[in-house]
Amino acid sequence: MTWRILAVNALALFVLVAGILYLGRYKQELIHSELEAMAVQAEMYAAALSTSAVSSSDDATNRVKIEVAREMVRRLVGITGARTRLFATNGSLLADSRSIQSLGAGTIQAEQLPPPGEEDAFADIMRKLTDGILTLFEGEQPLPLYVDPPVASAADYPEVRAALAGYSRGVVRVDSEGRRVLSVSVPVARFKQVLASVMMTKSGESIENALHAVRLDILKIFVFAFGITVLLSIYLAGVITRPLNRLARAAERVRRSKNRQFAIPDLSDRRDEIGDLSTTLRDMTETLWDRMDAIERFAADVAHEIKNPLTSLRSAVETATRLKDPERQRRLMEIIAEDVQRLDRLISDISDYSRMDAELSRAESEEVDLDVLLYTLGELYNADAEGPRVKVSVPENLNVPALESRLTQVFRNLISNAITFTPEGGEVRVRAWRDKNWAVITVEDDGPGIPPGKEEAIFNRFYTERPATEKFGQHSGLGLSISKRIIAAHNGELSAQNRVVRDEVKGAVFTIRLPLD
C-alpha cells in the first residue's frame, strides 16, 4: 500500500510538471516576438540605407552606393549582434556584416566566438538531450534546413525574394546542428522603388536559453516537491497501513487463540475510518465471545433439562423390571410415556430455538397487517367454547415489517400463556395502537400475575412458572425466551409487568413494541 500511495501521489506530480514543461505555446510566443523585433530593426536599417546609401542621378534613377552600404551594414550590426546582408534587385549579394573587404586580399569572414570558460561539454549534451526529448513531446513540425552557401544570392532565400517583390517576411529554420536560425528580410525602397533587400539572420540560442532557464527552474521546484511528496506519502502510508497491520495481526491472534488473552487494539481516538473499523472489530469480537458464551450456557442448560427426564426414565425402567404387580407396572409405564413426551417436546423446542437465529438472518421481512393477524388468532382461540374469551382491539392498516410466521409464533405463545393463567369467567385482551414510529401491542389476562421480582426472569431459558392445576412437564420453559429473541431480531422490545388496580394485582400484561418502518 505504501508503494501504491507513493505512486499515485507522484503520478499526479509528474503529470503536473510534464504539463508545465510543455512550453510550446511559450516558445512560439518568444519566436514571434523575436521576429517582430528583428523586423523593426531591419526596417530601421532599410530606412537608414535608403536615406544615406542611395544616390539619385539626373534622370531620377536611384542607385545604391555599395561602399557606403557595406560600411553602414558593418557598423549597424555591432548594435544588434545579428548578421545583416544586403541583396541587390538582381539577386546578388552587395554587403555582408561578417565579411571584411580588403584590397587585393579577397574576403575575410568575421564571426563572434563564445566567451572563454563557459563551455561544459557534459552540461551541453544533457541540455540538448532533455530539450530534444521535450521537443518531441511538443510535437513541433520539422523546420527547413538553413544553408549558408559560399556565394549567397537572393535565390537561396525565399524571404529575400519576397522582400525584393516589396513584402517583408520572416522565416524560422534549423542549421546542421539542430539550432534554430531566425531570418527576416525587408525591402530597401525609395519613393516606392525597391532598390535592395536587407536580410537579418540571428541564432535562436537566446530563445533556447530562456526556455532552458524556465525548465531548469521548474525541475528544481519539481525535485523539491517530489521530495516533499515522498515524505508525505511515507507518512500517510504509515498512518494508514501501520494501524491496519496492527488490526490484522490482532484479528489473526484472536482467531488462533483459544481464550480471551488477545484483544483488538482500541483506535477509537483517531476519529476516522480506521478508528471506526477498530471499534467495529472490537464490538464484533465481543459479540462473538458473547455468542460463544451463550452457546456454552445453552448447551449446559440443555444438558441439565434433558438430564432430568432421562434420570426419571432410568429410575422408572429400573423399577419396572423389579415389580411384579401389574397395576404398579402400568402406572410406571404411564410415567415413562409422559417423560418420553416431555423429552420429545423439549427436544423439539430446543431444535426450534437453535434454528431461530439462522432462520431470522436469512428470511426476508414483509409487511404484516396486525389487524388481520390478531383478529384471525382471536377467532381461532374463541372457537373453543370452554376457554376464556379473547377480545381483540386493533386499528385498521397497522402494518409492521416482520417475518409473519415468527411473529405469529410470538402472539400464540403470549395468548396461550394468558389463557392458561386466566380463570373461568375471565378474558384475555389483545390491543394495539400506534405510538409515533412504533406499533404497541399488549396482551392482558385476569390471572394471578407475575411473582414479584420475576418480571425479567420469566424470559430466561427453561424458566417455568405454571398454574398449580397444570400437570408438570407440559411446557419446556422456552416459549417466552424464544418470543423475546424473535422480537429483538425485529428490532423491537418485549416486556412484562403486573396489572395493578388499587394496589391489587389483577393480572399480567405483556407489551410488544415493533418499529413501523
Average pLDDT rounded to a whole number, residues 146-174: 89
CA distances from 255 to 248, 263, 285, 288, 335 (A): 10, 10, 10, 11, 48
Average pLDDT rounded to a whole number, residues 475-480: 68
> Is the per-residue pLDDT at 311 higher than 60?
yes
Average pLDDT rounded to a whole number, residues 57-71: 73
> Is the per-residue pLDDT at 329 higher than 80?
no
> Is the per-residue pLDDT at 377 higher than 50?
yes
pLDDT of residue 59: 55
- Average per-residue pLDDT in the chain? 78
pLDDT of residue 338: 75
Confidence of residue 1 (pLDDT cuts 50, 70, 90): low
Strand partners, 507: 499
Average pLDDT rounded to a whole number, residues 211-237: 78
| φ, ψ at 188 (rounded to 5°) | -100, 110
Kindly report the CA angle at 502 between 501 and 506, in degrees rounded to 5? Answer: 30
Looking at 116-120, 129-133, 139-143, which range is the least confident one? 116-120
Average pLDDT rounded to a whole number, residues 203-219: 77
Phi-psi category of 151—alpha, beta or left, where left has phi over 0 and alpha has psi -120 to 50? beta
> Is the per-residue pLDDT at 113 higher than 60?
no
For the beta carbon of residue 83, count every other beta carbon within 10 angstroms: 21
Specify burial of residue 137 (Cβ count, 10 A radius: 0-12, 13-18, 19+). Answer: exposed
Average pLDDT rounded to a whole number, residues 496-508: 87
For the ranges 258-272, 293-307, 367-381, 469-483, the maximum mean pLDDT occurs at 367-381
* Range list of H helices, 257-272: none
pTM over 0.75: no
* Range list of H helices, 383-456: 404-421
pLDDT of residue 252: 83
How much of the chain exceeds pLDDT 70, in percent? 78
> Is the per-residue pLDDT at 121 higher than 90?
no
> Is the per-residue pLDDT at 70 higher than 50?
yes
pLDDT of residue 431: 94
Higher-confidence residue of 17 and 220: namely: 220
Q: Which amino acid is at 513?
A: R
Note the pLDDT tens digit of each residue in 52-61: 877 766 555 6
pLDDT of residue 472: 47
Confidence of residue 462 (pLDDT cuts 50, 70, 90): low
Q: Which of 213, 232, 212 is nearest to 13 (CA)?
A: 232
Whole-number Å distance between alpha carbons of 398 and 438? 10
Average pLDDT rounded to a whole number, residues 455-473: 65
> Is the per-residue pLDDT at 511 higher than 90?
yes
The three grid cell numbers given for residue 510, joined into one nine-digit string: 405483556
8 A C-beta contact, residue 483 and residue 413: yes
Looking at 52-56, 120-124, 374-378, which range is the least confident one? 120-124
Whose cell is 415413562? That residue is 336
Strand partners, 433: 440
210-216 long-range contacts (CB < 8 A, ≥24 apart) are 210/30, 211/23, 211/26, 211/27, 211/30, 211/131, 212/127, 212/131, 214/23, 214/26, 215/21, 215/23, 215/130, 215/131, 215/134
State the DSSP string of 91-134.
SBEEEETTEEE-TTS-EEE--PPPPTT---HHHHHHHHHHHHHH
For the ranges 102-111, 170-179, 253-262, 459-468, the maximum mean pLDDT occurs at 170-179
Whole-number Å distance between alpha carbons of 60 and 190? 11
Confidence of residue 467 (pLDDT cuts 50, 70, 90): low
> Is the per-residue pLDDT at 128 higher than 70?
no
Q: What is the 3-state secondary structure (H, E, C) of 420-435?
A: HHCCCCCEEEEEEEEE
Higher-confidence residue of 400 and 67: namely: 400
> Is the per-residue pLDDT at 279 higher than 70?
yes
Average pLDDT rounded to a whole number, residues 459-472: 61
Average pLDDT rounded to a whole number, residues 292-298: 73
**Burial state string for 305-331 with b = 16 or more CB within 10 A and e = fewer than 16:** beeebeebbeebeeebeeeeeeeeeee
Whole-number Å distance between alpha carbons of 430 and 414? 10
8 A C-beta contact, residue 86 and residue 77: no
pLDDT of residue 77: 65
8 A C-beta contact, residue 208 and residue 216: no
How much of the chain exceeds pLDDT 90, in percent? 12
pLDDT of residue 102: 42
> Is the per-residue pLDDT at 481 higher than 80?
yes
pLDDT of residue 428: 92
Q: Which amino acid is at 432?
A: A
Q: Which of 394, 343, 402 is nearest to 370 (CA)?
A: 394
